Structure 1
Amino acid sequence: MSEKKRHSGKKLKFPQDMIAAAIGSIAALPEGMALGAMAGMNPIHGLYASIIGPFIGSWTTSSVYMVVSTTGALALATRGALHGISEDEKISVLVLITVLAGLIQILMGMFKLGFLMRFVSNSVMRGFLSAVAITIVLSQFADIFGYYESKHSNKVLKALDVILHYKEFNLYAIGIAMLTIILILYLEKTKLKNFSMFFSLTVATLTTFFIKISTLKLVGNDNKIPDELPTFVLPQYENIPDVFISSLAIALIGFIQSAGVSHMRPNPSGKYPDTNKDLRGEGLANVVSGFFTGIPVCGSVSHTSVLTSAGAYSRWASFISAIMIGILVFTMSGFIEQLPMAALGGILIISGFSSLNREGIFTIWETSIQARCIMGFTFIATLAVPIQFAVLGSVVLTFILQIVEASNRVKLKAVIVADDGFLKEIPPPTEIKSNEVIMLHPSGSLFFAGAYVLKDLLPNADNAEHSVVIIGLRGRKEIGSTFVTVIKEYLEHLKEHKCILKLVGVGQLVYHQLDRTDLLEEIGKENVYRFDSELGRPLMHARKDGYQWIKEQQ
């Protein structure tokens, strides 16, 4: 196909991006406001993020289809980070938190730390995201029931407190919330499903306006929606120590969510997005969002799904949707102030329940007891403590589980020469006999706890003399200090009983590590056999030398 035809084909797709952008901007408007309120800020800061996120992220991330925007998890984390901050200082602290989170993500991308995503277990991820979904639902109880007197900061306790004051519920708030929820659920089953939130919010607002429900709390009661561009604000860097943990947690939450979203669909080239480039692009979007007082952003499942289902073809869809959201915000500020908070609460309840992955939860539940416990622990921790600490705890738990799991996979086999001349693996002996050569092959990770597991598996030489133990290290790119310590201790044990140790299949890097730690000298260079591309050669060479050494000792 000629370049002219390819260019023409792309032009024909541009109207699809325009249509998808229009649908996406209308869907993003109510959710952006609701998430801004959830973050404990004026809803306009959620809208600013909904404009800046896709405006910057559409061109700086590796994923063509991912929409960088506001999410419930980040809104909750932001609210937790701003808890206890006075109203006068909230904007300056928000700016610092968002900018700092963006800088952390940029550094993570520059140092290619995207690979860390593979260490976050599915059980931890599902437990965390499920708890976030439930927390989003519980956090809306005050708005949908019209009771705002609870003093609890924990969302579970606050929701329980609201329920206990059922006699003080505002029936108008409940009615508007139910109207919004019912309309969304109905429209979701029609051709207007991509406009369901916008239409439902409009109907709820007009209902509130025409029947003059004075007892309903509106967006404009506490927040003035400006009809102008956001102002540029520099963060107060002296407060970094106070918000660093919160910013780190927000950066990690955004990283985890974006990694899942960007791999929902490959790029038009057929390749999946580069996680590290996504990190850098998302980080830049957060830095800009922060400078213009937007709340933190990351890859959004809901916004990405809306755009792709509406026929988005290229990055232009996300970019144009950002411009359209901006136009809607600055031409509808008066209307936005009339939005009932109960309606926004209804929207977020729908968003919370829709983000529960029931199939994923069931799969983990049926996998193993360990998977259930991990998912349950993460779920409870996220509900019990502020979300920024829950996500850091989940990440730490993931790494601990990785170490434990890796150590549990460490196995030790003895290798013998079978009658047919082939090598055969058998269970290793617990004790070494005198005047014998034992060939051992460890498998699994030998770092950290894995090295100590190997130590317990190695046969002892308490009743042996003049024997040779051969340990295969073929395929080991490097060894850790714990493994070096274990081998040194085992070597001393063998020497006490006039036995020797040989290492085979040693690669170049491992050989240098043995040399730098003086283990090479202690074992003896003649007892370290370098890696050979021919399978079994170093092992059989060491075996032959071992029997020769035993013969010389007699």
Structure 2
Amino acid sequence: MPQTPDTPEAPTPRPAPATGSTPPPPSGPACPVPPRGLGDRLLCAALPFVESLRGYSLQALRADVLAALTVAVVALPQSMAYAVIAGVHPKYGLYAAIVPVIVAALWGASRYLVAGPTNAIAMLLFATMAETVINGAPLSTLPEETRMAYVFGVAILAGLLQVGMGLARLGELVHFISHSVMVGFTAGAAVLIAVGQLKNLLGVSIGQAPTFIGLVLSTLRHLPQTNPWALGTGLFAMAVALTIARVHRRLPAAFLAVAASGFAAWALDLSAHGVKVVGAIPAGLPPFSLPPAPDAQVMRDLFMPALAIALLGVVEALSIAKTLAGARGEQVDGSREFVAQGLGNIAAGFFSGIPGSGSFTRSAVNFVAGARTRFAGALSGVITLLAVLLLAPLAAYIPIAALAGILMIIAWGMIDKHGIALALKATRADRTVLLATFAATLLLDLEKAVFVGVLLSLVLFLRKVSHPLVTRMDTCDSPELQGLPAGPCCPNLAVYSIEGTLFFGAVDELEQRLYEYEDFGHRAVILHLRQVHWVDATGVHAFQQFLRKCQRRGVALVLSGVKPAVRTVFERAGLVPQLGADNMAETLSDALALCYRRYLKGAVCDACKASNKGRCRREHHAGNAGGPDGAVGPAVAAEAASVSDRPGGVGRA
């Protein structure tokens, strides 16, 4: 899955140099394997982080605290910026970087992943508020207290869906969302973020535009009203962030740029020049919040946005967790990470936060800064809380235009240029999915754009697997068969190699290719199935139909290279008794020898009659084939084994 950087200064994840002599604790499963008893199993299920406390050293604590400090410095400006993207007060982004981050880190499957607000989830939330109608009015137009109650409800509903998916062990389903879907979605979201923040960068007031095109046109109409002080503030923040990132990538460029802009706003009294500022943020613990009372109609209205947030959130989190774990040669339990992300979003709903997911930037910073355990992520939430308690009054001076400038840089960093180039150059299906998802992101509701991309990926995937590769190998110049002891250079014999999954959608293509043999008058047909890994009832029925057709025409059918799982299906469906167990060969060499010995003995083709004095050129191979009825002898077995060991040999194809 593609990684979506949240800020331009996101470092490339790489193993951090070891500090001290104590190696990092293994991440592995949170619970002992095997569990030591019922008590351990219950404890690990309820409190998986307890196992990480065993053997937790002072050195590990020191490393985790340093990593957490670094992450918190990045998280503070990011969280406020993503709240602006979502269309809510920046304080709700800060609240989402506290309790939800702690919960997701403690219950998660990765010791590096840091959750919280992200750009893609913020865009989905913004679209949800713009498009959801409550009591005849768009959610975004309701009073803040009422509006935020529904936002908290979306967070809780998304979290419940994620927990449910995790408990159902659906962690592997994220693989159905292709790389091209994520690249197209993040590129479209980046464009939406950039265009949506132009009004804040320019310092103009623009009403709610129902469509992307309408937003662009409305922004162009308001260009003459640009506030030069606001524009200058935003450009100043962008220049500071880009300069710091260029000079030293380890410095928190976004944090320093926002701090410098806030100082400038205070020193120059920019609010007197019409520059909007964040305003007061309560210096205290995140307030406890409750969603609105359950209502069937509201639940229906919020279900699809919550499902889109849940799905996109787990894809983001799991792809990031697997990337960082892979750098250490570790594994991640996807289903457990589903549960952790769900618990984090539920916590966000009850502690005044917006929904979130795993952040690539903050996770990468945590990784590079030398985090040892899951407690680094949890400590970053604690440090963010301390910052809110101590620095909240200073945040009131941060200009909205400065946050807009930082978001412009973030939007550019979101675009996966390499991923776009790869998808455009790869296959037509990848190009189609990429462009369709990108267009849907701009033109449709964001949650619909995610589902459009997923659905299109599945349709194209099914279309691809519904065309099994059926290759005729019965030509004298077939390079795959040159070294076999009984090559099929004989017009009386046809050999087909079949590759793919033989399910109901692939049967028509299979039947069309197999029935071509009727045009050549063969006496025996070999189906080489070494690359067939799965077959369903419809596929078995197709083989039975083909067998009956062969039997009516007096043509022998032999199967070779059948995998054990496929053979089991054949046996249960009754195909093996119909075919005859002795007509199933282990290797292609054995199948060829069997056909020449049993079914083609004495059958001389016109070519052999004309060029070999009426004798079959392959008879001597049958002589080496061994015992009666085509039992494979030692000569054939030895030759087949030698061919199987050659590069490109098909004895074990």
Residue among 567, 580, 588 paired with 1:527: 580
Mapped to 2, the partners of 1:543 and 1:192 lie a distance apart of 71
Would you say the 8 A contact 2:498–2:532 is kept in 1? no
Distance 1:507 1:115, change over 3 A: same
Does 1:11 find its partner at 2:58? Answer: yes
Instruction: Give the whole-Å Cα distance in 1 for the aligned partners of 2:191 and 2:459.
Output: 26
Counterpart of 1:202 in structure 2 is: 259
User: Cα distance, 1:323 vs. partner?
Assistant: 0.3
Partner of 1:444: helix, strand, or coil? strand
> Could you say if the C-alpha distance between residues 244 and 468 of structure 1 is closer, same or farther in structure 2, counting changes exceeding 3 Å?
farther
Q: State the identity as a percent.
A: 24
Is residue 2:539 matched to residue 1:483?
Answer: yes
Once the two structures are TM-superposed, the CA of residue 284 in structure 1 deviates from its matched residue by: 2.1
In structure 1, distance between residues paired with 2:559 and 2:584: 10
Equivalent residue letter for 2:434? M
| 1:334-382, Cα deviation, whole Å (9 max, x unpaired) | 3333332212111211111122232333333444555444322222222
Distance 1:291 1:545 in 2: 76
**Equivalent residue in structure 2 for 1:290, among 349, 358, 373:** 349
Match of 2:330 among 265, 271, 275: 271
Deviation at 1:494, TM superposition (A): 4.4
Question: Residue 534 of structure 2 contacts residue 566 of structure 2 at CA under 8 Å; is this kept in 1?
Answer: yes
Contact kept in structure 1, 2:96 and 2:356, CA below 8 Å: yes
* Letter of the 2:232 counterpart: G
**Alignment match, 2:82:** 35
SS of equivalent to 1:28: helix
Which residue does 1:230 correspond to in 2?
287
- Alignment partner of 1:310 is 2:373: no
In the alignment, is the contact (CA less than 8 A) between 2:120 and 2:189 conserved in 1?
Answer: yes
The answer for unaligned runs of 5 or more in structure 2 is: 1-20, 26-54, 131-137, 605-653
Deviations 1:208-229 (A, max 9, x none): 2333323222333xx8646333
1:447 maps onto 2:500 in alignment: no
Cα distance in 1, alignment partners of residues 320 and 78 from structure 2: 18
Q: How does 1:348-427 map to 2 (within 5 A)?
A: 348-368=407-427, 370-408=429-467, 410-414=469-473, 422=485, 424=487
CA shift in 2, pair 1:176/1:270, >3 Å:
same
Q: In 1, Cα distance between the equivalents of 2:579 and 2:551?
A: 16
Question: Are 2:207 and 1:139 equivalent residues in the alignment?
Answer: no
Deviation of residue 32 (structure 1)?
0.5
Distance 1:5 1:73, change over 3 A: closer
1:107 aligns with 2:164: yes
Q: Report the Cα offset of residue 45 of structure 1.
A: 2.0
- 2:632 paired residue number: none
Q: How far off is 1:394 after superposition? A: 0.9
Q: Secondary structure at the match of 1:178?
A: helix
Q: Is the contact between residue 194 and residue 306 of structure 1 (CA under 8 Å) also seen in structure 2?
A: no
RMSD, aligned CA: 3.6
State whether residues 137 and 349 of structure 1, in contact with CA within 8 Å, keep that contact through their aligned partners in structure 2. yes
Judging changes above 3 Å, is the alpha-carbon distance between structure 1 residues 309 and 458 closer, same or farther for their aligned structure 2 residues? same
Q: Is the 8 A contact 1:504 1:529 kept in 2?
A: no
Q: Does 1:190 align with 2:247?
A: yes
CA separation of 1:371 and 1:164: change in aligned 2, threshold 3 A: same
Say whether the 8 Å CA contact 1:128–1:379 is kept in structure 2.
yes
CA offset at residue 329 of structure 1? 1.6
* SS across alignment from 2:340: helix
* Counterpart-to-counterpart distance in 1, 2:374 and 2:513: 55
| Aligned counterpart in structure 2 of residue 173 of structure 1, from 195, 206, 230 | 230
- Structure 2 counterpart of 1:480, one-letter code: D
Structure 2 counterpart of 1:82 = 129
Return the alpha-carbon distance in structure 2 between the equivalents of residues 338 and 17 of structure 1: 31
Per the TM alignment, residue 533 of structure 1 is displaced from its structure 2 partner at its CA by 6.0
CA distance in structure 2 between the partners assigned to 1:461 and 1:305 by the alignment: 58
3-state DSSP class of the match of 2:204?
coil
Contact conserved, 1:468 with 1:546, CA < 8 A, in 2?
yes
1:459 to 500, 503, 515: 515
Matched, 1:62 2:95: no
SS of the residue aligned with 2:246? coil
1:243-301 CA-partner distances (Å, limit 9, x unpaired): 22212211221122223312332379631433333223222222222232322222111
Q: What TM-score results when the alignment is normalised by the length of structure 2? A: 0.72
| 1:299 and 2:358 correspond | yes
Structure 1 match to 2:401:
342
The partner residue of 1:319 within 369, 375, 378 is: 378
Pairs aligned (count)? 536
Q: Any conservation in 2 of the 1:32–1:43 contact (CA below 8 Å)?
A: yes
Distance 1:389 1:327 in 2: 39
- Residue 246 of structure 1 pairs with residue 246 of structure 2: no
Residue type of the alignment partner of 1:452? D
CA distance in 1: counterparts of 2:339 and 2:82, whole angstroms:
24
Give 1:75 deviation, angstroms.
0.4
- SS of alignment partner, residue 496 of structure 2: strand
Of residues 192, 206, 216, the one that matches 1:149 is 206
C-alpha distance in structure 1 between counterparts of 2:202 and 2:582, whole Å? 74
Rate the CA distance shift 1:526–1:495 in 2: closer, same or farther, 3 A: closer
| Equivalent position of 2:275 in the other structure | 216
**Equivalent position amino acid for 2:536 in 1:** G
Question: What's the TM-score once normalised by structure 1's chain length?
Answer: 0.84
Q: 1:188 is paired with a residue of what secondary structure?
A: helix
3-state SS of the aligned residue for 2:498?
A: strand
The amino acid across from 1:68 in the alignment is A
Answer whether contact 2:121 2:355 (CA < 8 A) is retained.
yes
SS at match of 1:360: helix
1:28-72 Cα distance to aligned partner (Å, 9 max, x none)? 111101111211222222112211332122222222212112110
1:91 paired residue number: 148
Deviation of the 1:425 alpha carbon = 7.7
> Is the 8 Å Cα contact of residues 433 and 457 (structure 2) preserved in structure 1?
no
> Which protein shows a greater Rg?
2
Which of 64, 73, 96 is the aligned partner of 1:26? 73
Question: Is the 1:53–1:69 Cα contact (8 Å) retained in structure 2?
Answer: yes
Q: Which runs of 5+ in 1 are unaligned?
A: none
Structure 1, residues 314-345: CA drift from partner, whole Å, max 9, x if none? 32322111001111123333333333221211
3-state secondary structure, aligned to 1:140: helix
Query: What letter is aligned with 2:173?
Result: L
The answer (yes or no) to whether the contact 2:241–2:257 under 8 Å persists in 1 is: yes
Q: d(CA) in 2 for partners of 1:345 and 1:282?
A: 28
Q: 1:53 aligns with which of 88, 100, 105?
A: 100
Q: Does 1:116 align with 2:169?
A: no
Per-residue deviation, 1:404: 2.6
Q: Deviations over 1:92-130 (max 9, x none)?
A: 322232222223323333344333344433333322222
